[in-house]
Amino acid sequence: MLDTNVLVSGFLAPGGPPGRTLDLVLRGDLELAVDDRIRAEYDDVLRRPALALPTEEVAILPGFLAERAARVSARPLALGLPDVDDEMFVEVAREAGADALVTGNLRHYPRVAEAISPRRFLDRFTKENAGRQPPARRRGVASGPRLPAATRPSSRGPASAESSQL
């Protein structure tokens, strides 16, 4: 599960921890879980002109989510988070059995065991997948189904058949 702030940061700084985490999702090493509320928030926030996100890369996300994300129907939980709008991320993460809820705003998720920063998530992912390095940076958008280059098969072989749930 990726909080919206991780997606925004991932597109703005592809070489940083949020961008490298996003790349793991885009290349199929991690399965992203979403529901209609989260898809709508991603779409709304990522299209805000004030963020000046790379439109060509952002444009692939709705199709990617439709094809590759696990869709869940989460039941409401009364979590008492500082921002009630963040509760949907915990609801979906728990319904999907996600290993983590990656967020740049840990203070928004007090007492949520699944919440983890992008840097700590990458450290954990690297330790659990010894010998496999998280991608360094996206290299643009591929032709064809409009998936980023990181999702195309490479000469190093396909992504792991067993992806983690996120």
Name the average pLDDT for the chain.
Answer: 83
Q: Are 44 and 51 in contact (CB under 8 A)?
A: no
- Whole-model pTM: value is 0.80
Task: Indicate the helix (H) or strand (E) that contains 119.
Answer: helix 118-128
Return the percentage of the chain with pLDDT > 90, whole number: 75
Least confident range from 2-16, 42-56, 114-128, 137-151: namely 137-151
Residue 109, pLDDT > 80, answer yes
So what's the pLDDT on residue 135?
Answer: 53
So what's the pLDDT on residue 144?
Answer: 24
So what's the pLDDT on residue 160?
Answer: 41
**What gap in Å lies between CA 9 and CA 16, rounded to an integer?**
8
Residue 136, pLDDT > 60, answer no
Residue 150 pLDDT class (50, 70, 90 cuts): very low
So what's the pLDDT on residue 114?
Answer: 95
So what's the pLDDT on residue 164?
Answer: 61
**What gap in Å lies between CA 124 and CA 84, rounded to an integer?**
28
Q: Which CATH class is domain 4-130?
A: alpha beta
Angular region, 48: left φ>0, alpha ψ -120 to 50, beta rest: beta
Quick one: three-class SS letters along 28-94?
CCEECEECHHHHHHHHHHHCCHHHCCCHHHHHCHHHHHHHHCEECCCCCCCCCCCCHHHHHHHHHHH
Residue 137, pLDDT > 80, answer no
Q: Are 62 and 43 in contact (CB under 8 A)?
A: yes
Task: Indicate the helix (H) or strand (E) that contains 23.
Answer: helix 17-26
Q: Are 165 and 96 in contact (CB under 8 A)?
A: yes
Residue 132 pLDDT class (50, 70, 90 cuts): low
Residue 108, pLDDT > 70, answer yes
